[in-house]
């Protein structure tokens, strides 16, 4: 018994002699990073009147965030109506620009310009397309007060007139559906006053060409059925091509994504023209109207096609320059609208 007690006592003394491992010291709490807030003053670009002073604006705030704060103080100036610049004569800042990435200090001044009442691009496109679609049909059905009373609600005896009506309606019906379900607009709005200019061009052009194509004295194309069939083939081919390009552009840019990418040909043969042209949607649009011009052999249609080609060339050149500026390895073989020519 005594031996066991002594042995247990010896074991206790041995375990007491062994020191326990030191506990790790707790890490000191990290100091919170100091946030440097910005002070933003917004002045009228013309009068230099101070419209708003924003203090403690977070450095990660975007221009769109600042516009939203400005809108709270001035409800009649909604964000789409605002243009903010760093310099009175400078370019407008983009909504996605971040405050701390701009060449400004912690105290800065933005210059405000009122862009006027705005309207959504989608609404503009719909009005541009619905007008010609309806106007053309008014002439096709020869409603009263358009032609002589004896021709009211009569039908043309020429097959090409009916084919032209189907093609014209198909074209604008396709554009309406693409506006609703395919297109993604990079700019949300445009000045409301522009809608009158845009719509008057499309609506008046549709009325002009429809008046002559559906006129009781209209004469068919010189080469007759052969010319109409060839022109119809061109028109349908280009309409399919246009739709294919619009779908390729839609798939290139996801909804809400701001990252821009270079469009390339896909498995769809209609998109292979991307290898030679930056804006094949305009190329196919031009081809469609050339086919319609050949089909109807009508001067107003030719005039509309030429004016449209000039305008689309301006847009295509601008887009082509934008691609070259944004992408260092952009394909050098591409032309803006016509392969190897323009």
Query: Furthest-apart CA pair in the chain: how many Å?
Result: 139
Other beta carbons within 10 Å of 205: 18
* One domain for residues 76 and 131: no
Q: Given this model, what pLDDT does residue 61 score?
A: 92
Among 1-5, 159-163, 196-200, 242-246, where is mean pLDDT lowest? 1-5
Question: Mind listing the pLDDT tens digit for each residue in 7-65?
Answer: 545 544 444 445 556 666 666 666 656 778 899 999 999 999 999 999 889 989 999 99
In a domain, 19, yes or no: no
CATH number for the domain harbouring residue 89: 3.10.20.90
Question: How is 90-115 classified by DSSP, letter by letter?
Answer: SPPPPTT-BGGGSS--SEEEEEEEE-
Measured CA to CA, the distance from residue 236 to residue 294 in angstroms comes to: 13
* One domain for residues 204 and 260: no
Q: Is the pLDDT of residue 1 over 50?
A: no
CB 220 within 8 A of CB 149: no
CB 194 within 8 A of CB 121: no
Which residues constitute the domain of residue 80? Answer: 38-116
* One domain for residues 112 and 155: no
In a domain, 25, yes or no: no
Question: Mind listing the pLDDT tens digit for each residue in 157-208?
Answer: 999 999 999 999 999 999 999 999 998 876 678 888 889 988 999 999 999 9
- Residue 15's SS3 state is helix
In a domain, 22, yes or no: no
Number of domains in the chain: 3
Last residue in a domain, options 220, 237, 269: 220
In a domain, 2, yes or no: no
* One domain for residues 175 and 246: no
* One domain for residues 202 and 124: yes
Could you tell me the two tokens for 266? 């896909």
Could you tell me the two tokens for 240? 């399919």
Which helix (H) or strand (E) segment holds residue 45: the answer is none
- Which pTM value belongs to this model? 0.80
Query: What b/e string do you get for 68-101 counting C-beta neighbours within 10 Å, with b at 16 or more?
Result: eebbeeeeebebbbbbbbbeeeeeebebeeebee
Last residue in a domain, options 196, 220, 244: 220
Last residue in a domain, options 181, 196, 220: 220
Measured CA to CA, the distance from residue 94 to residue 186 in angstroms comes to: 12
| Closest residue by Cα to residue 86 from 76, 75, 77, 97 | 97
| Closest residue by Cα to residue 244 from 284, 288, 292, 290 | 284
Burial of 47 (0-12, 13-18, 19+ CB in 10 A): exposed
- Residue 141's SS3 state is coil
* One domain for residues 235 and 329: yes
In a domain, 166, yes or no: yes
Q: How confident is the model at residue 6 (pLDDT cuts 50, 70, 90)?
A: very low
In a domain, 193, yes or no: yes
Could you tell me the two tokens for 241? 């091509």
């Amino acid at each position: 018994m005594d031996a066991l007690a002594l042995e247990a006592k010896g074991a206790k003394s041995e375990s007491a002699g062994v020191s326990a491992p030191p506990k790790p010291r707790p890490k000191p709490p990290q100091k919170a990073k100091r946030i440097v807030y910005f002070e933003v003053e917004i002045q009228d670009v013309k009068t230099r009147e101070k419209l708003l002073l924003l203090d403690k604006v977070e450095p990660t705030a975007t221009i769109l965030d600042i516009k939203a704060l400005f809108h709270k103080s001035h409800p009649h100036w909604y964000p789409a109506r605002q243009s903010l610049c760093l310099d009175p004569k400078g370019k407008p800042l983009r909504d996605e620009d971040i405050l701390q990435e701009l060449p400004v200090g912690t105290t800065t001044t933005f210059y405000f310009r009122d862009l006027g009442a705005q309207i959504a691009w989608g609404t503009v496109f719909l009005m541009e397309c619905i007008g010609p679609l309806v106007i053309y049909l008014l002439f096709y059905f020869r409603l009263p007060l358009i032609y002589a009373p004896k021709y009211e609600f009569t039908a043309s005896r020429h097959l090409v007139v009916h084919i032209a009506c189907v093609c014209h309606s198909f074209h604008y019906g396709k554009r309406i559906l693409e506006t609703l379900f395919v297109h993604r607009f990079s700019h949300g709005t445009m000045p409301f006053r522009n809608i009158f200019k845009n719509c008057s061009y499309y609506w008046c052009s549709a009325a002009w060409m429809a008046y002559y194509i559906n006129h009781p004295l209209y004469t068919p194309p010189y080469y007759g059925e052969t010319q109409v069939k060839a022109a119809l083939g061109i028109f349908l081919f280009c309409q399919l091509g246009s739709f294919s390009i619009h779908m390729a552009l839609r798939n290139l840019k996801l909804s809400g994504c701001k990252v821009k990418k270079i469009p390339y040909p896909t498995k769809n043969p209609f998109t292979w023209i991307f290898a030679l042209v930056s804006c094949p949607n305009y190329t196919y649009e031009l081809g469609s109207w050339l086919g319609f011009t050949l089909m109807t052999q009508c001067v107003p249609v030719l005039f509309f096609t030429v004016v449209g080609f000039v305008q689309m060339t301006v847009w295509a050149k601008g887009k082509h320059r934008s691609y070259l500026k944004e992408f260092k390895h952009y394909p050098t073989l591409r032309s803006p609208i016509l392969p190897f020519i323009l």
